[in-house]
């Protein structure tokens, strides 16, 4: 068997384009946007102009004719510069546009997908509630069938782009007694009356990513906003998550790489006892561990993306990359902080931001506990490794 690990020339160009974009368009605003907890619309618009929201989307709906691996390469480079901005890909592309492409009626595809890809619509997806996280089937936000419309009441929590989104996927209970089979997905219109959105500012990290609590009070939702069929929402949600989890994995790869590069640079610049600290064995051990974990994560992320591009079973591999990505990013950020000593604890270096942002990967898109269960059940044969 021949295994070729080389990127194609086109993939290298995409990778470099994303790297240059992140360094030129995102990096200059990091300090300002972190300090102000500010989501910058002009960066979002430029990402759309560069075609960043069109991966895996058919060209007839505005897609860029590229797939999962190319998307992962771009997310990695963006996250490496500022991890907050890796969130945009899932909100626009793999979380909203791609899910509508898979499950939507043709008129929904033609209307919504081009607008998410172009950035005309700012997207989101909402499933989490204040007391409902991993147990998606236990959600309480409810929409009652009133004949011509659904009457929506309840709230959602920790919703990325929650205060800035125009439209997005909303998962709610339409049959409170049917468990997972009672969930329906709507392509929610956030201009409808009865919606209150409150920004969440007291987050540990992701300070340049918008996050909100959304409250729905007697919101009349037109039936044409249903995605797929009534009661199909849980299946739609699980398939969506298997895509957005790769975006999370690629983001952890970017942050892991940022920590590694910052640590190597500092180890060569900082001298103690007459030589660079990189010459000392314990510092070398830190660098070596970070390097090995980053390389292993790179393989996992790229393999999961490749499997998706081939249409092969990938749920286990995607969860493996998500689970290991969280461990690698947290470990790399912690080691980076320690290696920088007192300077790591100051805002002169990005170590604090790395450490704040890394913890997201243990929670978002499924907790590490949930991904451990997914990997173990697939490995043991208790559940299939789905496409």
Do 264 and 244 form a contact (C-beta atoms < 8 A)? no
Cα-based distances in Å from 306 to 76, 215, 321, 376: 15, 39, 12, 21
Helix axes 233-269, 68-81, angle to 10 degrees: 50
Compute φ and ψ for 312, nearest 5 degrees: -100, 160
Instruction: Output Rg (C-alpha) for the chain, integer angstroms.
Output: 21
Distance of alpha carbon 152 from alpha carbon 318, whole angstroms: 33
Ordered DSSP codes for 40-71? -HHHHHHHHHTTTT-TT--GGGT--S--HHHH
Please calculate the CA angle 55-60-61 and round it to the nearest 5 degrees.
60
What tokens does 221 get?
Answer: 């939702």
Do 214 and 156 form a contact (C-beta atoms < 8 A)? yes
Do 214 and 189 form a contact (C-beta atoms < 8 A)? no
Strands (E), the chain: 125-126, 142-145, 149-160, 167-173, 183-189, 195-199, 211-222, 226-227, 271-272, 275-276
DSSP character at residue 97: I
Check if 365 is active-site.
Answer: yes
Distance of alpha carbon 327 from alpha carbon 139, whole angstroms: 28
Distance of alpha carbon 253 from alpha carbon 326, whole angstroms: 9
Helices (H) and strands (E) in the chain, counts: 12, 10
Distance of alpha carbon 140 from alpha carbon 149, whole angstroms: 19
Distance of alpha carbon 171 from alpha carbon 135, whole angstroms: 13
Q: Which residues are catalytic?
A: 365
């Amino acid at each position: 068997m021949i295994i070729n690990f080389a990127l194609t020339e086109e993939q290298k160009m995409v990778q470099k384009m994303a790297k240059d974009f992140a360094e030129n368009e995102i990096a200059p605003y990091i300090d300002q946007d972190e300090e102000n907890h500010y989501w910058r619309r002009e960066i979002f618009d430029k990402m759309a102009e560069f075609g960043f929201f069109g991966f895996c989307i058919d060209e007839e709906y505005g897609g860029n004719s590229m797939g999962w691996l190319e998307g992962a390469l771009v997310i990695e480079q963006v996250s490496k510069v500022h991890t907050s901005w890796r969130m945009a890909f899932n909100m626009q592309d793999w979380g909203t546009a791609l899910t509508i492409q898979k499950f939507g009626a043709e008129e929904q595809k033609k209307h919504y997908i081009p607008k998410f890809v172009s950035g005309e619509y700012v997207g989101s997806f909402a499933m989490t509630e204040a007391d409902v996280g991993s147990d998606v089937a236990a959600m309480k936000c409810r929409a009652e069938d009133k004949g011509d419309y659904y009457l929506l009441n309840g709230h959602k929590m920790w919703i990325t782009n929650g205060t800035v989104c125009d439209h997005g996927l909303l998962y709610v209970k339409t049959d409170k007694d049917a468990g997972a089979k009672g969930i329906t997905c709507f392509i929610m219109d956030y201009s409808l009356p009865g919606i209150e959105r409150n920004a969440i500012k007291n987050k540990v990290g992701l300070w340049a990513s918008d996050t909100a609590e959304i409250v729905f009070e007697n919101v009349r939702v037109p039936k044409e906003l249903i995605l797929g069929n009534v009661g199909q929402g849980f299946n739609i949600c699980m398939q969506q998550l298997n895509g957005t989890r790769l975006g999370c994995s690629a983001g952890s790869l970017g942050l892991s790489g940022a920590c590694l590069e910052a640590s190597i640079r500092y180890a060569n610049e900082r001298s103690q006892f007459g030589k660079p600290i990189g010459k000392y064995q314990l510092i070398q051990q830190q660098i070596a561990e970070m390097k090995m974990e980053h390389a292993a994560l790179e393989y996992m992320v790229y393999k999961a993306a490749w499997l998706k591009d081939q249409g092969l079973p990938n749920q286990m591999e995607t969860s493996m990359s998500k689970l290991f990505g969280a461990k690698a990013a947290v470990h790399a950020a912690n080691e980076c902080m320690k290696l920088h000593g007192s300077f790591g604890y100051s805002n002169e270096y990005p170590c604090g931001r790395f450490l704040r942002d890394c913890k997201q990967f243990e929670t978002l898109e499924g907790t590490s506990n949930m991904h451990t269960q997914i990997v173990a059940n697939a490995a043991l044969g208790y559940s299939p490794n789905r496409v």
